Amino acid sequence: DAGVIQSPRHEVTEMGQEVTLRCKPISGHNSLFWYRQTMMRGLELLIYFNNNVPIDDSGMPEDRFSAKMPNASFSTLKIQPSEPRDSAVYFCASGTDGEQYFGPGTRLTVT
Amino acid sequence: GQSLEQPSEVTAVEGAIVQINCTYQTSGFYGLSWYQQHDGGAPTFLSYNALDGLEETGRFSSFLSRSDSYGYLLLQELQMKDSASYFCAVLTGANNLFFGTGTRLTVIP
């Protein structure tokens, strides 16, 4: 298996622009997670899906963030409009409970 | 609130043994996980303990004491490639992992 796949790996955008991050989980994993990692706040869970259904989005910072999972093999995290404080590494992971497998991450820089 | 405490930095000699401790205080507890992250890389799953005791996987072992709200990761026969950050994470609910701030391990020759 190729593991969790994320795209793009790097994204540089200007404040106010829309950003869409993409994720393909490991086949057969029913749960998908979006995390954000920064030096200041560490690794934070933003939202997770179980069987394509959003279960807990309490970590989503604000309404500018939205996530979808239209099918078992694809999820998106969208930021609109983006702000400089959104600059971080965004990880997608799939797995179950304490055993999660992370993708390589998307390093987002908002200028 | 939720809190996880682990040392911020640890230095150890190649070939030695190092133990990284983690104490937690969370509203729910299902189990304790450990992840490794190299600079610029993604977190990599190492272990998950739901029950008390020691679990061994190769050079790495993980321990949990639920009564003490405490766990540790033990790394034996340290290698230079083990230099990385190590995160403990508490499963506070179904699929809900709360991560600590990480311990940066530096292995020196």
Share of chain B above pLDDT 70, in %: 100
pLDDT for A97:
86
What's the mean per-residue pLDDT of chain B? 95
Residue B42 to residue A102, Cβ atoms within 8 A: yes
pLDDT of res. B94: 80
Q: What percent of chain A has pLDDT over 90?
A: 87
| Structure confidence at residue A1 (pLDDT) | 65
Please give the single-letter amino acid code of residue B31. G
Q: What is the pLDDT of residues A31-69, one digit of tens each?
A: 999 999 999 999 999 999 999 999 989 889 889 999 999
- The CA distance from B63 to the nearest CA of chain A, in Å, is 15
- Which whole number is the average pLDDT over A84-107? 96
Total count of residues recorded for chain B: 109
Residue A80 near chain B (CB below 8 Å)? no
Average pLDDT value for residue range A68-88? 97
Cα gap A107→B22, rounded to integer Å = 28
Q: State how far the alpha carbon of B11 is from the alpha carbons of A10, B20, B83, in Å.
A: 32, 11, 9
Amino acid, single-letter form, for residue B57? T
Q: How far is A91 from chain B (nearest CA, A)?
A: 8
From chain B, pick out residues whose CB is under 8 angstroms from the CB of A104.
41-42
Least Cα separation, residue A83 to chain B (angstroms): 23
